[in-house]
Amino acid sequence: MIKTLILARHAKSSWKNPGLPDRDRPLNKRGQRDAPVMGQRLARQGASPDRLVSSPAVRALLTAQAIAIEIGYPPDEIVTDERLYHADVGEWLAVIWDLDDALDCVMCFGHNPGLTEFVNTLAPLHIDNVPTCGIVELQFDVETWARVGHVRPIQTDFDYPKKPQS
């Protein structure tokens, strides 16, 4: 049994309105451009998550919605999880371990620094920084999501908007 976990950092957010609460910041123009592009890359690779789970922060949810449209996932079915808003490794694990084992592929949207720390905890990738709209795909040979974090992934992939495409 293979479980695929796709982790995405939100796209570039706007700092245009400094008085706006952090969780309400929208995407800037680059973020609005990068999210659909990364969704198109995922679609070309055949990504078809059973569920999308996002931090409730506006920038994360807008990223999830833009990618959902490109991969054919209904944006109104995106689940938000408060624990993903600036989650640390323990909170990320709690979200993953709570996933329904009937789901084989899940995509989650979150924030740094916790996302990069989580990726480096799970996989031997040693990524200094998952950039905005960066996507890490991890495949685990497990039957239950509760095993994620206890075993290494059998396959990894790391993509980001500025990565050269062949």
d(CA 133, CA 161): 7
Alpha-carbon span 57 to 83, nearest angstrom: 11
**CA 70 to mean position of chain CA atoms:** 15
Beta-bridge mates of residue 13:
27
155-159 β-sheet, strand order: 79-80, 51-54, 105-110, 2-9, 135-141, 155-159
Mean pLDDT of all residues belonging to the chain: 97
Q: Which of 8, 13, 83, 89 is nearest to 49 (CA)?
A: 8
How confident is the model over 60-114, as pLDDT tens digits?
Answer: 999 999 999 999 999 999 999 999 999 999 999 999 999 999 999 999 999 999 9
- Domain ranges in the chain? 2-159
- Please report, to the nearest 10 degrees, the dihedral formed by the alpha carbons of residues 165, 130, 36, 53 taken in order: 140
CA–CA distance, 133 with 60 (Å, rounded to integer): 9
Q: What is the pLDDT of residue 124?
A: 87
CATH class of 2-159: alpha beta
What token pair was written down for 41?
Answer: 């890359």
The pTM of this model reads 0.97
Q: What pLDDT band is residue 166 in, cutting at 50, 70 and 90?
A: confident
What's the CA gap between 106 and 9, in Å, rounded? 14
Q: How confident is the model at residue 18 (pLDDT cuts 50, 70, 90)?
A: confident
